[in-house]
Amino acid sequence: MREVAEKAGVKVSKIFQINESKYSKHTNAFFTGFGPEKSIYIFDTLIKTNTPEQVASVVAHEIGHWKNNHVLKNILLSFAGSVLMTWIVYFTYSACGYAPGYPHFSFFDGTALTISDIASLPLISAILTVFSFWLSPIENFVSRKFEVTADTYEIGMGGHPEIYIQSMVQLAKDNRSFLFPHPLVTFWYASHPPILERVKLGENFNKEKK
Ligand SMILES: [Zn+2]
């Protein structure tokens, strides 16, 4: 594991095993840490069902996320998202509250309900729910792009697309992934590309090499 990380120029201080098998069969790996020193965390479930090469491949995927600054980009994007949502809530609320022709929100005695009233909280959360539903395809589109980048890094670094493909097949088995999701479901809800698309990425890499 250390070799994989060091090959990528990541200094690993500690490697931890998480006893996930006590709770579920779900597999995962990630690493944390600011600065040059990182800690790798690997679910024991991943170690049980995958060969050491496949585990190393999964770690390479996580390194791919880190190398491409996905964590930082995610923080910036969610910050931008929060600003946008705040604006949307404020705008929708104001439009509904004050613009002529829109329904006015008021208490039963007729006093206008302003956005700063605690009683407007359910309304604010309703507006948030509606708009986050419509924003989720954008969020997931970005997430899927990041996953493809990390997968490409994983295959490129290991140089063994077949190990990548094996680990994808294992991932699908361990997490009981649905193999043929409807494209619309993927478009709207999926944070990762469908597993068969990810396998195809490995196969295409094989073809390009030949
Ligand atoms: Zn990923």
The alpha carbon of 15 and the centre of ligand 1 are apart by a number of angstroms equal to 19
Spatial distance between the Cα atoms of 190 and 186, rounded to a whole number of angstroms: 5
> Distance between CA atoms of 68 and 75, rounded to whole angstroms?
13
* Ligand 1 midpoint to CA 173 (Å): 17
Q: What average pLDDT does range 163-167 have in this prediction?
A: 94
Task: Give the confidence band of 101 by pLDDT, cuts at 50, 70, 90.
Answer: low
The model's pLDDT over 7-65, given as tens digits with 9 standing for 90+, comes to 777 778 788 899 999 998 888 888 887 777 788 899 999 999 999 999 999 999 998 99
Name residue, tokens 């409807």. 182
Where is pLDDT greater, at 123 or 171? 171
Q: How many Å lie between the centroid of ligand 1 and the Cα of residue 209?
A: 24
With a CB cutoff of 8 Å and minimum separation 6, the contacts of 40 are: 1, 5, 12, 14, 15, 16, 29, 30, 31, 59, 62
CA 118 to ligand 1 center in whole angstroms: 39
Q: Residue holding tokens 């910036």?
A: 76
C-alpha 56 – ligand 1 centre gap (Å): 14
pLDDT mean over 89-118: 67
Query: Is pLDDT at 102 greater than 70 in this prediction?
Result: no
List CB contacts of 157: < 8 A, sequence separation 6 or more.
4, 7, 8, 60, 63, 64
Distance (angstroms) between ligand 1 centre and the Cα of 124 equals 33
Mean residue pLDDT of the chain comes to: 85
Contact 171, 177 (CB under 8 A): yes
What is the residue type of 7? K
| DSSP letter, residue 95 | H
Determine if the pTM surpasses 0.85: no
For residue 171, report the distance from its CA to the centre of ligand 1, in Å. 12
Q: How would residue 133 be classed by pLDDT, with cut points 50, 70 and 90? A: very high
Give dist(CA 196, CA 151) in Å, integer: 13
Average pLDDT over residues 91-106: 63
CA-CA distance, 93 to 87, in Å (whole number)?
10
Distance 113 CA to ligand 1 centre (A): 44
Q: Which residue has the higher pLDDT, 110 or 99?
A: 110
Residue 11's CB: how many other CB atoms inside 10 A? Answer: 12
